[in-house]
Structure 1
């Protein structure tokens, strides 16, 4: 009887932990053991990062307003942080998991993330954010589903699959980091992987996914690579785009999709072809030598192998720009709340400030560095968010060292220091990205979704605003910028905290092409921002300091 009683007590405790407490939204708990392992995802044995012995890591499947609690045990030999890419941490940059907001989880210790997924319905991913750890894996899918009372603009799919695709290096992440620290470039990747694999095509490949003939499936496609845009397609199967980066889209059909670094798309695919195997294909774009990765999609009643004829990818970035212009926000679909997501008329809001960011590259003294507006960001021992919260920012960084309207030659003299700018709370900002380089950029902003209103060749002038899409630009969190081109985004800075704006090209970000945006309110109110967690790690100059009075 004693064993049965103990079991019943454990079941009751577990049920209590998984159910709403005091009217709160549901909690879901995860325990992650992060370790190294040896695998051969590109045919060469190499060190990878595993989560609970999985590569890629486990999917987080959630519904809007769920509370996610992830207890991370760091069993690597170096510090670790996890970032939840694209998931808006409302009032809560304490859980953002980047070097400017959080002290790292030291080897042999653990830390518990606690965040609530809010007003987004869509496809995202997480990854280790320090150094070049993402080059070793440690990433996984993160879904935010719609609550039952809020409909989505398509029928429920038979199943829901996540595709984590991207370029891959066979050198270890520590070796790649040493290359950059030594002033060199990462060079070219060696492979493209889909969910950590590349099908050999010799009949031994196991399917990544299976489909029942006649059924429709949702595929969430994310580019988790380090350097290259990829083009994704499926043999003989068009893809209906229904969602991207937290927003429902107008449901256009595509034979292939360019997925830039950090981006995620949600598409519907119907199993209406001959029952057999088909290749899912991802290949690098805008590169001299094209790398291609494949995965098997299998019909449950099929036995024939996939055709060796791989569908070709498009050529040139003009095609990709035209595809970007075809993406539209679905103005009639419900958002995470029961109202149309297009009910926010962003095109009618007065712009209060325009900021231009120009990326540049420098080889001063033989050291490769990347910059935004002439400043190459460096992380210190004290996270910017903690220095600000404890009232000692002057010991760590200076605010607003870059100009809102830099000259075109701003990248000639690069300065290395923390790059932090301030935006006033609830102001409506226009941000212009100018890319004078020959490679495609991809920018990501933490904590926010913005309206991607334009990309055009050349340099930006105020007259270019007449070309903005002020009606149905998709609300998203990453923005490509093509070579010798500019891009414009609009957004309201209504989320208090310290938020990272960065190049998604790992080499560029690591070598300084990022900055932090501080959004403050003088009230220090719980209406605007959560209190620092009781369990927050402290490091650098704030370690040992008394905590400020909590917000009210």
Structure 2
């Protein structure tokens, strides 16, 4: 009887360690440096607050069930905190301001989230440029509940203000809109366009994020249909559309099949108010044809 009990305990211990070994969950570490940087858009140069000097900021890319540690160093002039949009579990210290010259490490435990979330500065003035994607891939050994994509790409719809935004400044109506930080050719200031290169018959998982604070955004790709497969970090029943409407802060995971005639096609993002828009380009890699 004793030997059976010992064998049961031994098997239980082995099962526990095997589950840890094959779960694939990891501790993942990121360093965010909040710092000011100069950007030239809309025919003028201004200073904005960024993460690691980029706009949009650094993308976090992890797997389901991972533990994520983000050490934020504030080298800016004003206190800032980061909001982890859509993370289910509470985060210790999430409401605490990180003072200039100080740092704070956010500890984020992922559970059922799968797909696309995002992070952003909590303050309205900083949120316009301090934001980025938070991508949660399937756990090791898991597969997508839809055809495996050729590639996985993030598209963040943002906004740009001519005025310099600092503490105490409440942003008004945006002066322009961006796709992954690019204004495109709409505004006549030689601003660059976001370009997405695709291979004919490739299948692309696009992770769309509406980082525009107070505008519903409409997104479309000329002559291409899009299949919705997820929203706000959960899988969704597949549906098809030629244009997508994203509420402020919403994320969508969609499949794009590059099945049109080889060429170049416009990507368009505009607020539902229709006041302004921005464009990008889908470029088939074997194409030198005109824009469609």
Question: What is the TM-score with the length of structure 2 in the denominator?
Answer: 0.85
Runs of 4+ in 1 over 6 A off after TM superposition: 201-204
Q: Which residue of 2 aligns with 1:112?
A: 105
After superposition, residues 323-402 of structure 1 pair within 5 angstroms as none
Q: Partner of 1:251: helix, strand, or coil? A: strand
Is it true that 1:123 corresponds to 2:121 in the alignment? no
Aligned-residue offset at 1:132: 2.1
Aligned-residue offset at 1:117: 1.5
Is it true that 1:244 corresponds to 2:231 in the alignment? yes
Is it true that 1:213 corresponds to 2:206 in the alignment? no
Q: Partner of 1:304: helix, strand, or coil? A: coil
The separation in 1 between residues aligned to 2:238 and 2:131, in whole angstroms, is 28
Q: Which residue of 2 aligns with 1:142?
A: 134
Equivalent residue for 1:194, pick from 164, 167, 179: 179
The separation in 1 between residues aligned to 2:150 and 2:24, in whole angstroms, is 31
Aligned-residue offset at 1:110: 1.1
The separation in 1 between residues aligned to 2:134 and 2:53, in whole angstroms, is 18
Is it true that 1:258 corresponds to 2:251 in the alignment? no
Summarize deviations over 1:432-481 as a string: whole Å, max 9, x none: xxxxxxxxxxxxxxxxxxxxxxxxxxxxxxxxxxxxxxxxxxxxxxxxxx
Return the index of the structure with the highest Cα Rg: 1
Cα root mean square deviation, aligned: 2.3
Q: Partner of 2:157: helix, strand, or coil? A: strand
Aligned-residue offset at 1:50: 2.0
Aligned length: 270
Q: Partner of 1:133: helix, strand, or coil? A: helix
The separation in 1 between residues aligned to 2:74 and 2:195, in whole angstroms, is 29
Q: Partner of 1:94: helix, strand, or coil? A: coil
Q: Which residue of 2 aligns with 1:55?
A: 55
Equivalent residue for 2:268, pick from 262, 269, 281: 281
Aligned-residue offset at 1:216: 0.5
Aligned-residue offset at 1:25: 3.0
Is it true that 1:295 corresponds to 2:280 in the alignment? yes
The 8 Å contact of residues 167 and 284 in structure 1, kept in 2 or not, is answered as no
Q: Partner of 2:280: helix, strand, or coil? A: strand
Is it true that 1:174 corresponds to 2:156 in the alignment? no
Cα separation, partners in 2 of 1:207 and 1:242, compared to 1, 3 Å: same
After superposition, residues 385-424 of structure 1 pair within 5 angstroms as none
The 8 Å contact of residues 157 and 209 in structure 2, kept in 1 or not, is answered as yes
Aligned-residue offset at 1:210: 1.2
| Bigger relative CO (Cα 8 Å, ≥ 6 apart) | 2
Cα separation, partners in 2 of 1:199 and 1:301, compared to 1, 3 Å: same
The separation in 2 between residues aligned to 1:283 and 1:293, in whole angstroms, is 6
Cα separation, partners in 2 of 1:259 and 1:130, compared to 1, 3 Å: same
Normalized per residue, the structure richer in strand is 2
The separation in 2 between residues aligned to 1:150 and 1:265, in whole angstroms, is 20
The 8 Å contact of residues 120 and 131 in structure 2, kept in 1 or not, is answered as yes
Aligned-residue offset at 1:24: 8.9
Is it true that 1:36 corresponds to 2:29 in the alignment? no
The separation in 1 between residues aligned to 2:191 and 2:173, in whole angstroms, is 28
Q: Provide structure 1 residue ranges, at least 5 long, that are not aligned to the other structure.
A: 1-19, 181-185, 308-552
Cα separation, partners in 2 of 1:50 and 1:147, compared to 1, 3 Å: same
Aligned-residue offset at 1:276: 2.1
